[in-house]
Amino acid sequence: MKILINFLIIFFISINLNASDFTLKKITNLNEPWGSTFLNNNELLITEKSGKILIVNLKNQKSKIINHNLKVLEYGQGGLLDIIFRDNIVWVSYSEDRGNYKTSTSIARGDFNRNNIIFENIFQAYPPIDSPYHFGSRLAIKGDYLFASVGERGQGMIAQDASKHPGSIIRIHIDGKIPIDNPKFLDKKDWLPEIFQIGVRNPQGLTLSPFDQKIYISNHGAKGGDWFGEVKKGENYGWKILGWGGTNYSGTKIGPKWKPGFTKAIQYWVPSIATSAITIYKGEEFKEWNGNALITSLKDMSLRKLDFTNLESVKEDIIFQRKIGRIRDIQVHPKNGKIYFLSKESLWVMEKI
């Protein structure tokens, strides 16, 4: 029995050591990239905040610009944001120029073309606002549904006003039609028809788990109070009634970390790490991580792994920190499971040695 126990201890230590035995390699330089999606096993579609859509070849590191017709306004934290490719269709989220210095987090869809994509809007956040802050915005597709996170544009309590989109998670069909089982049509008569959940601040991570088929989200707090949690229909994460453990930048209190009646996050970070893109890992390269959440950060410049199998005892590991700069996006290769990151100026790959 003693020999067996010692063997198991050595075995699990080996798993942990192998999990951290990796290299980070730069693939190519970019200019403030924001979102990425696999086009095929050898190419990524990448957005740059300034408005460019690129095809990047992972083998020869060459890039090609795709023309498009989007009215992107790069304004503060806004610009061309997330991107998803599926079944020869491309969806993007972006800060749209709505005139008179006002912008909205908008979503457009277009048929994929390697030279020129003609997009049509399928969602525009209402109302357009003159603010350079908190656009969100990530996209995730689950079957025929498109989920998107919409930031509260620095307007605070607007996130509690479901007659306006800022500060919410929306759910529409992939063609832009509104699902008939969204909260408005059930028990939330005063909600806009696209809204699925309210009470978020600046959500820059959104992903579909390939294991439990749930949608998960990460969200920036103010001075502290970042979190990772599940998207839940018709519920409310509480901003700006709740502070999630953080305070205003002036140091004044916002509200409690959580209280009954609001959605409780799975994991909180105080002080802030500036949570960014997330994914639920599934792959062969780091198969011991399957089912774990991978959380990237901007301020903390880290990759964190969360085992949230037991919600009463979430286990967190920092995989690396301050190696590639501020991390904006994360993608797992659909075939080999290697992990790709967008930093402020580059595309990186993480693989085992």
Per-residue model confidence as pLDDT tens digits over 282-323: 999 999 999 999 999 999 999 999 999 999 999 999 999 999
Q: Which two tokens mark 337?
A: 């499971």
Residue 276 — very low, low, confident or very high, per pLDDT cuts 50/70/90?
A: very high
Residue 7 — very low, low, confident or very high, per pLDDT cuts 50/70/90?
A: very low
pLDDT at 8: 38
What total number of domains does the chain contain?
Answer: 1
pLDDT at 101: 86
pLDDT at 46: 98
Render pLDDT for 192-247 as a digit per residue (tens, 0 to 9).
Answer: 999 999 999 999 999 999 999 999 999 999 999 999 999 999 999 999 999 999 99
Quickly list DSSP for 275-286.
EEEEEE---STT
Q: HSE of 206 in the Cβ direction (CA atoms, 13 Å)?
A: 29
- For the ranges 15-19, 80-84, 234-238, 336-340, the lowest mean pLDDT is seen at 15-19
Render pLDDT for 109-141 as a digit per residue (tens, 0 to 9).
Answer: 999 999 999 999 999 999 999 999 999 899 999
pLDDT at 138: 97
- Amino acid symbol at 250: S
Render pLDDT for 48-76 as a digit per residue (tens, 0 to 9).
Answer: 999 999 999 999 999 999 999 999 999 99
Quickly list DSSP for 32-74.
SEEEEEESSSSEEEEEETTS-EEEEETTT--EEEEEE---B--
pLDDT at 20: 58
Residue 5 — very low, low, confident or very high, per pLDDT cuts 50/70/90?
A: very low
The residue whose two tokens read 């198991």 is 8
* Cα–Cα distance, 15 to 57 (Å, whole number): 32
Residues of the chain with pLDDT > 70, as a percent, come to 94
Rg of the chain taking only CA atoms, in angstroms: 20
pLDDT at 192: 98
- Amino acid symbol at 336: N
Domain that holds residue 122: 2-352
Phi first, then psi: give them for residue 74, nearest 5 degrees.
-75, 105
* Cα–Cα distance, 105 to 151 (Å, whole number): 8
Render pLDDT for 164-189 as a digit per residue (tens, 0 to 9).
Answer: 999 999 999 999 999 999 999 999 99
Note whether 278 and 229 are within 8 A (CB). no
| pLDDT exceeds 60 at position 17 | no
| pLDDT exceeds 50 at position 14 | no
pLDDT at 2: 43
Strands 116-117 and 63-68: parallel
Indicate which CATH number applies to the domain containing 22: 2.120.10.30
Phi first, then psi: give them for residue 156, nearest 5 degrees.
60, -105
Phi first, then psi: give them for residue 308, nearest 5 degrees.
-110, 30
Mean pLDDT of the chain, nearest integer: 93
| pLDDT exceeds 90 at position 12 | no
pLDDT at 100: 87
pLDDT at 198: 98
Choose among 150, 125, 304: nearest CA to 227: 304
3-state secondary structure of 16: helix
